[in-house]
Structure 1
Amino acid sequence: MIERTIFQDLLDHLRKPQVTVITGMRRVGKSTALKYLLNQVDHENKIYLDLERTENRYLFNQSNTKDIEIGLAIEGINLSEPAVIALDEIQLVPQSTSVIKYFFDTYNVKFIVTGSSSFYLKNHFSESLAGRKRIFEMYPLTFPEFVAFHEENIKLLKSVSREPFHLSIYLKWKELYEQFIRFGGFPEVVLAETEADKTAYLKDVVNAYIELDIKLLSDFSASDDLYKLVRLLASRTGSRLDYSKIGSILGINRIKIKEYLSLLEHTYFIKKVGTFTQNVDREISKQEKVYLADTGLLQELAQVSSGQVFENAIALQLSQLGTIQYYQKTTGLEIDFILNNQIAIEVKETPAVHDEIVLKKRAAGIGMSEFFLVGRHQSANDFRGYVWGGNLI
């Protein structure tokens, strides 16, 4: 098994009594992380329970805690000694947090749990397990993790992180980076041997998300509307959100569109990027932009330009480095991304000297001295004043 970057933080927290909560979209590797942690426990008084299984849900749905204690004893858990209980897909048992609270307060039990909804886990857990838990968010693979999954050493790649374009680095990893952009970072997709298998896995992710997560985590029964909405959002990745226009196209109430988008965001399907503002200026647009959580999913849902796909990929990569926003005036002047309120970034598939000059001027216009271009392909005329997307890590 290839270890993810998050594993070290999870391992550090395994030694602490608080509940370890792992949340993220379906198929990003939460169950693998859960089993990895359980394998690191140095005693046998431990158990893994998949709450997608009826008998395991029944165990934790019982109203009498004594019955749950008996059930755990039957499964081999001795509550008179330190124990570790790993629960997968905890959102399937709404009362599970009260059960966890009881066992946490009564016995020496360490819980490790996963769930697919940040909204459910952050809000429900905050009420029931205040001070008793820490939430870790998992996402599809980063590019360094993607490289590691292909059994290549990532030390050199990391050593040139965010440095100006270097031809030898580009030539070594450009093929893998193109695969990363094309099929995204879901582990099962990455490990699939054929393109047909990768595409099939991506279809499964979409179907499971709509048919399982959405129906189980909300009162929205209109899965067809959700599917139409995610396809529309995919086709408009990188565009500003206009709730009224989207509602008009789909024939759905504007308020309902906002509710759907909130659900999509809190179940990790989309990422919203807000505007960078220095003051309340009428020239600056207030609408958020939207990107999909994975470029493989993006291309499964819609036919979009290569530029849109690349911008979506960079939005996700920059999100791993800090807070991102975008800047735009009503005149149309725009900077693709602002990182951590201090670095202006422009995304171009094939950057040129002119792009650097324009970006420098626009950055200066909002008082920023730090800026850089991000490119996908080798530039013409030996221009190297940009960061290749593959080492934007």
Structure 2
Amino acid sequence: MPAFIPRQITDNILSRLHSGKAIIIFGPRQSGKTTLLNNLSQHLEKILYLNCDDAQDRQALENQSLSHLKSVVGTYKSLLIDEAQRMSGIGLSLKILVDNMPQLQIIATGSSSFELSNQVSEPLTGRKYEYLLLPMAFQELLAHHGGFNENKELSRRLVFGTYPDIINNPGQEAELLNLLAGSYLFKDVFSFQDLRRPELLESILRALALQISSEVSYTELAQLAGTNHVTIQRYIQLLEAAFIIFRLPNYSTNQRNEIKRSRKIYFWDNGIRNSLINDFRDLENRNDIGSLWENYLVSER
């Protein structure tokens, strides 16, 4: 069984347990949210666990009458909800529980901020703490493996990234990354409402992967992908909301110029970027070492 690597946000979350507020943990799929949830459960009592990938578990909280929700929770003192973005109306259900059962500690995780954040932001205003769980940070790996051992792995981190499954399965990195990128990571994006052109999304992602460390022009991306500026902007927003990429705007003392100028777009994980261009060569055989270092360091900021 892979060793549990402590996450930096754990102590902060533990300090806020039993404060009368819900705890919401966002992050990409396979970033370790369920593992963290299981670890946090060791500090809780009488736990009801719901996985909203399961239809029956979703239905348990979709009836938002107070009497029904109380019957579901019963005498449990803790409610853990995994993949909460899959449940319609999750924000209102959690609001009702927080307001009427303050002794109940709620922890919910979600891999899709465009669904979960939109659902919980207004109903849970002033009733929640939010945390972001990304792939493993250097400081987390350093604390677990020690400086000597972790520094030896830096070249591999630049190529394969730091998703927990990748860290825990040396020798299987390429296979697991291709599975992660192809099957899991983009699931929320592909299934989102009226997204009808997965091939366009793949084209945009590949173009972005080839341009890390360079300024990105939406107009140029639109020409490369055979679409328009508005579509490019929408797809990039979805990819950001699924925690696959993030934008870093240029800095200018003139705000008007700052808005007009191109931005740099980075991937939250080097391994996902390399999977998209199918390039897992060792550093000494690559011509994008500088770009890999820049992406790694900026994502660690």
TM-score range, shorter chain: 0.7 to 0.9
Paired-residue identity, %: 25
Q: Does 1:275 align with 2:273?
A: no
Q: Does 1:252 align with 2:227?
A: yes
Which structure exhibits the higher relative contact order, with contacts defined as CA atoms closer than 8 Å and separated by 6 or more residues? 2
Retained in 1: the 8 A contact 2:28–2:185? no
Residue 162 of structure 2 aligns to a residue whose secondary structure is coil
Matches within 5 A, 1:139-158: 139-149=134-144, 152-153=145-146, 157=147
Which 4+ runs in 1 deviate beyond 6 A?
Answer: 281-285
Over aligned residues, Cα RMSD in angstroms? 2.3
Retained in 2: the 8 A contact 1:147–1:176? no
1:87 Cα deviation from its structure 2 partner:
0.2
Retained in 1: the 8 A contact 2:90–2:120? no
| Match 1:215 to one of 176, 180, 190 | 190
Q: Does 1:192 align with 2:186?
A: no
Matches within 5 A, 1:1-393: 1-41=4-44, 43=45, 45-62=46-63, 64-72=65-73, 77-78=74-75, 83-107=77-101, 108-149=103-144, 152-153=145-146, 157=147, 173-194=150-171, 197-209=172-184, 212-279=187-254, 286-302=261-277, 303=279, 305-317=288-300, 319=301
In the superposition, the TM-score normalised over structure 1's length comes to: 0.68
Q: Which moved more, 1:93-102 or 1:139-148?
A: 139-148
Aligned residues: 289
Gap change, CA 1:2 and 1:280, over 3 Å in 2:
closer
Gap change, CA 1:271 and 1:103, over 3 Å in 2:
same
Counterpart in the other structure of 1:387 = none
1:122 Cα deviation from its structure 2 partner:
3.3
Residue 121 of structure 2 aligns to a residue whose secondary structure is helix
Gap change, CA 1:144 and 1:63, over 3 Å in 2:
closer
Show structure 1 runs of 5+ residues with no match.
158-168, 320-393
Show structure 2 runs of 5+ residues with no match.
280-286
Deviations 1:1-49 (A, max 9, x none): 22111111111122321000000111111111111111111x3x22221
Deviations 1:39-80 (A, max 9, x none): 111x3x2222111112211212235443444344xxxx416x
Amino acid at match of 2:276: L
Larger radius of gyration: 1
Partner Cα separation in structure 1 for residue 185 and residue 109 of structure 2: 19
In the superposition, the TM-score normalised over structure 2's length comes to: 0.88
Residue 14 of structure 1 aligns to a residue whose secondary structure is coil
